[in-house]
Chain A
């Protein structure tokens, strides 16, 4: 889905610290009929201490994002952690950029197709690359 991060907070769970984001769905490619989703990722800043979890994505309030998510109990989580989170160009939602350039790891095909510069892929192309169908 493509959407906007409207709120972010860090919470303490029984065993850990997690970042919880509320994401407004602007466009759903598969599933996710809700208008507003709760997306969780491990780590975050809590009471002056930071929990760092390598591979965990940043979810920043106000950013437009393209998310590949899987269901986890009462919320959603990015597939492959940072690999499931793409920032979108705010001025032109047709253009997608990876968070960093990490998407190359996820979407570069294992065989048969040439690698491409995923930072220059459109949203539709990214979704197609990932094999997402309704």
Chain B
């Protein structure tokens, strides 16, 4: 395991005096905050399994069969996430498929159109939803003009197709960027960076697997019947006022679990999908590549507080199977 990490994560590790551990923090795509409640993007339970279509042959960078296998593997990884009902698959490859957000088809379009030569994106995801956040349709447009894909893990020349699709399928499922990731001493993303970290992960087999944070996201958003995951919730306060946009991280040092959430405009946070355990909490300002704007949704607004100091909570929080610990106050300065 690489030991040099993002500043915030390093700070948490220092606070709890344990070795570096897997990365953190999921955020549902939070589109609104109404009446004290967050409106988050989510597929209705009846939508599973989610059927998608993909451009026939996918990318011209790799053989069609290899490309399809990479996409299938990415979907299978999310579908196998424990304690959630998520299931997503490719129902068909289609020639001339378009990422049309209004056609009722969940499309993954690989476009080689010359008009994308000067486009300002590598991939664009489109999620159409109702006012309550329930997703109606999701599409992904991949700019195949500028990305050089590979399906060989460890190949430093191209971008690993399976790794890329793994993150994009996370967006398909309603997740926003994860606030924490780690940089190793060599400047590359650490091996244990979560799938939903906003920068593309490195290549390699380890980059193709979900982390605790990603797994907790699905377990919280799409819980399986009988799931016994736990929840920790509370509020972040600064000088008597609520703190919006604080990244609150729960760390279970014995099982090396690290999962987080971001506080809402009323300062409240809720970290769901946790395995039972004894947790330590820390609160961190959003910074670096994980800016409020990178999270999108309600976090685009300027009222997010990014000026407080990283803070640990001086108590352990024990949650058993299916239990909730609520009313935790995190005071920051």
Contact = CB atoms under 8 A, between A and B. Distances in A.
A79 B118 CA distance: 11
Interface in A74-92: 77, 79-83, 87
Contacts of A49: 128-131, 136
A104 B126 contact: no
Contacts of A70: 118, 120
Interface stretch (A21-29, A51-59, A123-131): A51-59
B120 A79 contact: yes
Interface of B: 29, 31, 41, 98-102, 118, 120-121, 124-131, 136, 171, 176-177, 286-289, 291-297, 299-302, 304, 306
Nearest to A119: B306
A66 to B, nearest CB: 14
A58 B300 contact: yes
A50 B31 contact: yes
B177 A54 contact: yes
Main secondary structure of the interface of B (DSSP, over half): loop
Contacts of B121: 55, 81
B294 A105 contact: yes
Contacts of B304: 100
B76 to A, nearest CB: 23
A92 to B, nearest CB: 15
19 contacts: A15-B99, A15-B100, A16-B126, A49-B129, A50-B130, A51-B129, A52-B31, A52-B126, A53-B124, A53-B125, A53-B127, A55-B294, A56-B296, A77-B120, A82-B300, A97-B302, A100-B291, A101-B291, A102-B291
Contact of B291 (A42, A43, A51, A104): A104
